[in-house]
Amino acid sequence: MSIAQNTESTAKLRCIACGATPDSASQDFRCTACGDLLEFFFPGWTLDPLLSDPASLKALWLNRRTSSNALDQSGVWRFRELLPRIPNLEEHVITLREGNTPLYRLPRCARATGVENLHAKHQGMNPTASFKDTGMTFAASSAHQSGFRWVACASTGNTSASMAAYAARGNMHSLVLIPDGKISWGKLSQSLDYGALTCQLRTDFDGCVQILNDLVRQKPVYLLNSVNPYRIEGQKTAAIELMEQLAWEPPDHIIVPGGNLGNSSAIGKALVEMRELKLISRLPRLSIIQAHGANPFYRSVRELGGKKLEPKKLEPMTADTLATAIRIGNPASWKKALRVLQATGGEVEEVSEIEIATAKAEIGADGIGCEPASAVTLAGLKKLRRSGFVKPAEAVVLILTGHALKDPDFTIKFHRGELFADRAVAGTPDATEAAQAKYLQRAPVVLDANLGAVIAALDAAERNS
Amino acid sequence: MSIAQNTESTAKLRCIACGATPDSASQDFRCTACGDLLEFFFPGWTLDPLLSDPASLKALWLNRRTSSNALDQSGVWRFRELLPRIPNLEEHVITLREGNTPLYRLPRCARATGVENLHAKHQGMNPTASFKDTGMTFAASSAHQSGFRWVACASTGNTSASMAAYAARGNMHSLVLIPDGKISWGKLSQSLDYGALTCQLRTDFDGCVQILNDLVRQKPVYLLNSVNPYRIEGQKTAAIELMEQLAWEPPDHIIVPGGNLGNSSAIGKALVEMRELKLISRLPRLSIIQAHGANPFYRSVRELGGKKLEPKKLEPMTADTLATAIRIGNPASWKKALRVLQATGGEVEEVSEIEIATAKAEIGADGIGCEPASAVTLAGLKKLRRSGFVKPAEAVVLILTGHALKDPDFTIKFHRGELFADRAVAGTPDATEAAQAKYLQRAPVVLDANLGAVIAALDAAERNS
């Protein structure tokens, strides 16, 4: 069973490796010629009068902000001119009013890093609290348009939560495959809430992916893992929305967490396409930050010149990185991400666990909560500043990918001094205690119930601040 | 130390009981004459040319949606004409781009309740994932304008999370007082993230409130509990935004969870004020739903004719209700809420624990996640339908107050059949198992890692759906 391109317009599928341009995708979204990933491209853009007129496009998108139409209210569909067109769109679109995420100044983090013009684009403010929603609305709508009743993914985290929500919203069923063993029920609470069918398989994560690929070839089940190129298209809109928020004046630098590398690919793709359409006049650098404990892309670029990627085996119970959302040993989209680095002149960096934890607390001190994986951006910026790759006068935007409530345990343990108690976490330097000390001054205290005790605590905190 | 009204405009403070109109509030926000709550009123509204022109006001607010100004981008400050004016607003406003929350159709819940025109206004899509942010931006900005460096509240949940975020954002310190004992660290993770000073006092919740009141009278600390009338003003904007989303055509019915009753008061106040200003032509009924396990307001209205309220003693470890966000024994704003019921012709209802849990799962099946307290609205609607108070043809809007991620444990336990395992929860009928059975069909299953097993699970789910 194959999936039509779903496009009436000029969008076409293309293999990123062999360049084949199939008329339709197989259900595993792999090139039938060489097995690599597919992507959309738009050969006919220059023939479209609207797309050749940046000022009109910008005005159209701005104007839609006052519309009461559901498509216009979505931060993804508002920019639908830059997405492959879905036939009978209005009948099939599944939206939770995703996108529309805030761009925050980070004044304290700016002072701490010495980069005065520092913002965060918070994709954790999406409906299911992660950036996955922007891609999911587009891919799930495409599944609906193709007549699928079931969608599926292998994931224990943000992807399954997002998929289950959009499936429920679109009256489709969803299937989540996860490895058996000690899994995080907290991460699965959302998919259960939205009614997903959850199967724990007696195998590892790769085994789940393999069975899922077999499944979609035999049964009418739509694959929603990140190899799905529709997801990448939806995720592009975060960059378009960001440029609009910056009055179409690109920053010097955009910094993205690197896990499976689909998000870096999507944001980079949008930047290149926006410059092609003259919506922006120059490309910002896009840099990618990985956790040291899950750094196959970092090693590929730094040690192997990006010529190949050696997967890192991540065992379920190993404490390689606590930034679980980017704990990926074999990133599917690494070739797409590499192309983005090359196109924009960006850098790849890795950060340690204590650097992630303190960066998260620094973002929190600016009143912004994020999940640990998001905080690698600030930690990475500090390293890029130290190496001189980012200059103090540059305008920098961090992409935060998930909400703080995605991982409350991490936060609690850090602020109680328990996060690195066993020191088994990879990449944790001996200076852990020193880095944490400032935060432990604000660890919860137990006091007698009298006014004097509270005033004393208040005065002490005031002195330490 | 007293707090100026912070208003250059026609807003005035008034005691809801004795009618005194003080020029300033004491730091505990209680009437110095009789000790009851204060509220804002607007005697000069009719003299303001803009406020007498509903069409112009609506156009102004709509237009601000295309603005890049931070005030205009906030779903609270966009409606600032209906709020008390803060001097030098631009210098003091603390905003996280709160409000702007989606209004969702609930198609499956509509069929289940027999109310075709059913929507949910999801206030859990605010930055800290609860409705508290809309009131907090206004009250925290007011504290900042008054020069406070410290803000404080007694809370273990959504209020402290919101307060800590806005305090951090505004470069103020925040203090959270909570009772010592077995508390939920998950709920506190956000305040720790934002750097709040957290004191566990060897007393109960009322003891914390008492010490906090003493504290604010002695030290320059700004009280951010819900008795603060600025918070109520900010929360009004949810109703204004809702009416705009409905093209200023009020629904027949709005249903709100009832805990401390500040939110019901705020939404009701906004409705009355919007009718006064001819922004809407009639008042929707506003009904309030409590959990049976924490139902002092229900009992006051139903059994005592609303003449008084008998507080319900709630022990820390008693399983009276799992809807912790409305687990309030002595609701501060009950008189304000009573006035709203009377003004709008609304009803008060109570629901059981299993009714809350199944309603939450039904909302989830529509692709919308919410915390348990929010689900009392749907559970209450069902009862109001059965009693005939709500008719099938009526347009109904449920106010959802918190995001699903505020309480993932509840969701997991429900879908694994563990939530009512000990049956100690008040109000749980014997029919619990029957009500849950449908959801337990989708409880996670462990399977061998082969395609056949997964296909069998898929087929079984398909048959049961």
Structure confidence at residue A422 (pLDDT): 63
Determine the Cα–Cα distance for residues A161 and B403; give it in Å rounded to an integer: 13
Residue A257, pLDDT score: 98
Nearest to B455 among A63, A219, A446 (CB): A219
User: Is residue A360 pLDDT above 60, yes or no?
Assistant: yes
Partner-chain residue, chosen from B100, B190, B451, that has the shortest CB–CB distance to A100: B100
The beta-carbon neighbor of A403 closest among B129, B201, B457 is B129
The pLDDT tens digits for A233-275 are 999 999 999 999 999 999 999 999 999 999 999 999 999 999 9
Asked if A168 and B364 come within 8 Å (Cβ–Cβ), the reply is yes
Contact A449 B199 (CB under 8 A): no
- Residue whose tokens read 């001996």: A430
Is residue B349 within 8 Å of B298, Cβ to Cβ? yes
Contact B150 A202 (CB under 8 A): no
Is there a contact between A373 and A324 (Cβ–Cβ < 8 Å)? yes
List average pLDDT for each run of 10 residues in chain B, which is 465 residues long. 53 96 92 96 88 96 97 98 92 97 98 96 98 98 97 91 98 93 78 94 87 95 96 98 98 97 98 97 98 97 96 79 91 96 98 96 97 98 98 98 95 90 56 76 89 95 87
Strand partners, B398: B120, B255
* Cβ within 8 Å, pair B190-A405: yes
- Cα separation, A411 vs B49, in Å, equals 50
Query: What ranges in B155-261 are assigned the alpha helix state H?
Result: 158-169, 185-193, 205-218, 229-245
Q: For A446, which residue in chain B has the nearest alpha carbon?
A: B200
Which of B119, B121, B125 is closest to B97 using CA atoms?
B125
**ipTM over cut 0.90:** yes
User: What is the distance, to the nearest Å, from the Cα of residue A143 to the centroid of all Cα atoms in its chain?
Assistant: 21
The span from the CA of A425 to the CA of A413, in Å, is 14
If phi over 0 gives left and psi between -120 and 50 gives alpha, with beta otherwise, what is residue A38?
beta
Query: What distances in angstroms separate CA A195 from CA A190, A211, A223, B38, B387, one per listed residue?
Result: 9, 21, 18, 45, 30
pLDDT reading at A151 higher than 60: yes
Q: Do B201 and A454 touch (CB under 8 A)?
A: yes
Please identify which residue in the block is written with the tokens 């704990």. Answer: A327
Least confident of A20-24, A319-323, A424-428, B36-40: A424-428
What does the block give as tokens for B311?
């507080």
Rounded Cα distance between A215 and A334, Å, is 25
The verdict on a CB contact (< 8 Å) between B175 and A448 is no
Mutate to test the interface with B, among A94, A125, A197 (most CBs of B within 10 A): A197
**Pair of tokens at residue A286:** 């896009």
Task: State the best of B122, B189, B403, B440 to mutate against chain A, taking most chain A CBs within 10 Å.
Answer: B189
Q: Do B367 and A96 touch (CB under 8 A)?
A: yes
pLDDT, tens only, A158-203: 999 999 999 999 999 999 999 887 667 777 899 999 999 999 999 8
What 3-state DSSP class applies to B58?
helix
Contact A447 B201 (CB under 8 A): yes
Contact B367 A403 (CB under 8 A): no
CB pairs under 8 A between A and B: 261
- Nearest 5°: the CA angle B360, B365, B366 is 100
User: Which residue among B175, B360, B462 sits closest to A458, beta carbon to beta carbon?
Assistant: B175
pLDDT higher than threshold 80 for residue A431: no
Q: Are the C-beta atoms of residues A390 and A357 closer than 8 Å to each other?
A: no
The torsion defined by the Cα of B101, B105, B109 and B113, in degrees rounded to 10, comes to 110
Q: Hey, what amino acid is at A9?
A: S
* pLDDT score of A314: 81
Contact A411 B444 (CB under 8 A): no
Determine whether A312 is exposed, middle or buried from the number of CB atoms within 10 Å of its CB (0-12, 13-18, 19+).
Answer: middle
Check residue A96 and give its pLDDT. 98
Give the CA distances from residue A12 to residues A227, A365, B269, B412, in Å, rounded to whole numbers and listed in that order: 16, 45, 54, 42
Residue type, B392: P
Characterize B317-356 residue by residue with b for buried, 16 or more Cβ atoms within 10 angstroms of its Cβ, and e for exposed: eeebbbbbbbbbbbbbbbbbbbbbbebbebbbbbbbbbbb
Q: Give the tokens for residue B274.
A: 């919007």
Distance from CA of A329 to the nearest CA of B (A): 21
Residues of A in contact with B170 (CB under 8 A): 367
Per-residue CA distances from A202 to A207, A223, A224, B392, B448 (Å): 9, 21, 22, 49, 5
A166-195 core/surface letters (b: 16 or more CB in 10 A; e: else): bbbbbebbbbbbbbbeeeebbbbbbbbbbb
pLDDT tens digits for range A189-238? 999 999 999 999 998 878 898 999 999 999 999 999 989 999 999 999 99
The 3-state DSSP composition of chain B as helix, strand, coil percent (nearest 5) reads 45, 15, 40
Between B428 and A307, the more confident residue is: A307
Nearest neighbour of A365 by CB, restricted to B168, B458, B461: B168
pLDDT at A6: 45
CA distance A34 to A302: 26
Identify all chain A residues contacting B62, using CB atoms and an 8 Å cutoff: 66
Rounded to a whole number, what is the distance in angstroms from the first to the last CA of chain B?
Answer: 63
Amino acid letter for position A175: L
Q: Which residues contact A213 (CB under 8 A, 6 or more apart)?
A: A28, A223
Q: Token pair for residue A25? A: 């995708």
Nearest to A96 by CA among A74, A129, A123: A74
Kindly report the length of chain B.
Answer: 465
pLDDT at B429: 56
Q: Distance between CA B110 and CA B363 in Å, rounded?
A: 10
Which H or E run includes A353?
A: helix A353-365
B448 Cα distance to chain centroid: 45
| Model confidence at A77: pLDDT above 70 | yes
Q: What tens digit of pLDDT does each residue of A335-348 get?
A: 999 999 999 999 99
Q: Which residues of B touch A457 (CB under 8 A)?
A: 197, 199
The alpha carbon dihedral of A119, A123, A124, A126 has a sign of positive
**Cross-strand pairs, B66:** none
**Interchain contact, A201 vs B448, CB within 8 Å:** yes
Q: How many residues does chain A have?
A: 465
Residue partners of A66: CB distance under 8 A and separation at least 6:
B62, B63, B65, B66
Contacts of A125 in chain B (CB under 8 A): 125, 127
Contact status, residue B446 vs residue B452, Cβ threshold 8 Å: no
Select from A31, A9, A51, A20 the least CA-distant residue to A229. A31
* Rounded alpha-carbon distances, angstroms, from residue A84 to A222, A224, B28: 18, 17, 58
Best mutation target among A192, A213, A403 (most B Cβ atoms within 10 Å) is A192
Residues of B in contact with A411 (CB under 8 A): 189-190, 192-193
CA distance B297 to B306: 8
H/E stretch holding A222: strand A221-223
- For residues A405 and B165, the answer to whether their CB atoms sit within 8 Å is no
Q: Phi/psi at A323 (nearest 5 deg)?
A: -85, 75
Closest CA to A60 of A48, A72, A75: A72
Asked if B194's CB is within 8 angstroms of A446's CB, the reply is no
Query: Average pLDDT of A23-47?
Result: 92
Residues in B closer than 8 angstroms to A136, CB to CB, are: none
- Strand ranges for B322-374 from DSSP E: 348-351
Let me know: does A187 contact A217? Beta carbons within 8 Å: no
- Token duo for residue A458: 């208040």
Instruction: Write the CA distances from B419 to B240, B425, B428, integer angstroms.
Output: 37, 9, 11
Task: Find tokens 């001054």 and name the residue.
Answer: A441
Res B6: pLDDT: 45
Single out the residue of B136, B56, B63 nearest to residue B97, CA to CA: B136
- Please give the pLDDT value at position B443: 87
d(C-alpha B366, C-alpha B370), whole Å? 11
Instruction: Determine how β-strand A103-105 pairs with β-strand A173-179.
Output: unpaired
SS3 call for A216: helix
Residue A5 has pLDDT above 80, yes or no: no
Opening angle at CA B386, ends B380 and B388, nearest 5: 105
Cα–Cα–Cα angle for B235, B241, B246, rounded to 5 degrees: 140
Cβ-Cβ contacts under 8 Å for B138 (sequence gap 6 or more): B76, B83, B230, B231, B233, B234
